[in-house]
């Protein structure tokens, strides 16, 4: 990542599937002194553009073709691994905690995650992009909050014993207590005890039993 001024304008690749947003970002960044060397609409285009142009930083959306789930974030993670000196700024309306944690853990600097609907000033976005391009970071507080929440959930799951994990996995399959007991060849009373321990360790307060089962399963799937 080169410092702006030493080698001219910072070179940017934009990966955004929405053509209007893509063109808008290109125009706005160009007006503010960036050199947008490529603007593409999918992860394959991002890889090709980065390989060809070796930019200082890539701006990447999370949900891109073909399935519009997390292709963009996976592409950003692959880019971070293959070209650690290229800054990566994830710019999306979605927070995807599963891979975002891995992306942010891949290096101390040169990475950012901003939310489209929370960027009120284009100048603030440009400043954040410059920080990421030159080895700094730019993280929306809401992203940090959700990542910390996801980390706490994982810490809670790590407290479960192997048997409790089995019971929770069975709950996720929609099995009743009696069906779980039969599958694991234990008594139904033992299953009830395991489920009680699961609720306690996941810090799910007493409430409707079905509601707590749903919350517990969501922790597992999160």
Beta-bridge partner residues of 12: 36, 57
Based on the fold, state whether residues 164 and 124 are members of the same structural domain: no
Q: Residue 1 domain-assigned?
A: no
Both structure tokens of 208 = 């409707």
Q: Return phi, psi of residue 52, to 5°.
A: -75, -40
Angle at 87 between CA 83 and CA 92, to 5 degrees: 115
With contact defined as beta carbons under 8 Å apart, do 41 and 17 qualify?
yes
Looking up residue 34, the CATH number of its domain turns out to be 3.40.50.2300
Q: Which of 143, 172, 205 is the last residue of a domain?
A: 143
Burial of 109 (0-12, 13-18, 19+ CB in 10 A): middle
Tokens 């440009």, residue located: 126
Based on the fold, state whether residues 124 and 194 are members of the same structural domain: no
Based on the fold, state whether residues 129 and 181 are members of the same structural domain: no
Looking up residue 208, the CATH number of its domain turns out to be 1.10.10.10
With contact defined as beta carbons under 8 Å apart, do 153 and 222 qualify?
yes
Which is nearest to 72 in space by CA: 31, 8, 125, 13? 13
Based on the fold, state whether residues 40 and 130 are members of the same structural domain: yes
Tens digit of pLDDT at every position of the chain (222 positions): 544 444 579 999 999 999 999 999 999 999 999 999 999 999 999 999 999 999 999 999 999 999 888 899 999 999 988 999 999 999 998 888 777 777 776 555 788 899 999 888 899 999 999 999 998 888 887 877 676 666 566 667 788 899 998 998 888 777 889 999 999 999 999 999 999 999 888 877 776 566 677 777 767 655
Instruction: Evaluate the CA torsion angle 131, 132, 135, 138 in order and state its sign.
Output: positive
Based on the fold, state whether residues 132 and 63 are members of the same structural domain: yes
Question: Could you give the number of structural domains in the chain?
Answer: 2
With contact defined as beta carbons under 8 Å apart, do 41 and 15 qualify?
yes
Q: Return phi, psi of residue 37, to 5°.
A: -85, -20
Q: Which of 143, 177, 210 is the last residue of a domain?
A: 143
Q: Residue 66 domain-assigned?
A: yes
Based on the fold, state whether residues 132 and 166 are members of the same structural domain: no
Based on the fold, state whether residues 101 and 208 are members of the same structural domain: no
CA-to-CA distance for 29 and 48, rounded, in angstroms?
Answer: 21
The residue segments making up the domain with residue 172 are: 159-221
Q: Return phi, psi of residue 81, to 5°.
A: -75, -40
């Amino acid at each position: 990542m080169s410092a702006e001024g030493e080698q001219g304008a910072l070179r940017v690749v934009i990966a955004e599937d929405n053509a209007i947003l893509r063109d808008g970002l290109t125009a706005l960044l160009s007006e503010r002194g960036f050199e947008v060397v490529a603007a593409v609409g999918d992860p394959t285009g991002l890889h090709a553009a980065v390989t060809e142009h070796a930019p200082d930083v890539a701006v990447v959306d999370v949900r891109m073709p073909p399935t519009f789930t997390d292709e963009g974030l996976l592409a950003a993670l692959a880019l971070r691994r293959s070209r650690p000196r290229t800054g990566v700024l994830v710019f999306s309306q979605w927070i995807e905690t599963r891979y975002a944690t891995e992306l942010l853990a891949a290096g101390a600097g040169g990475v950012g995650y901003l939310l489209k609907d929370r960027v009120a000033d284009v100048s603030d976005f440009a400043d954040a992009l410059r920080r990421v391009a030159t080895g700094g970071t730019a993280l929306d507080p809401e992203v940090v909050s959700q990542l910390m929440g996801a980390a706490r959930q994982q810490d809670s799951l790590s407290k479960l014993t192997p048997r409790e994990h089995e019971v929770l996995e069975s709950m996720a399959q929609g099995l009743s207590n009696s069906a779980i007991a039969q599958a694991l060849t234990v008594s139904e009373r033992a299953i009830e005890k395991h489920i009680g321990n699961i609720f306690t360790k996941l810090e799910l307060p007493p409430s409707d039993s079905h509601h707590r089962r749903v919350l517990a399963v969501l922790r597992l799937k999160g």
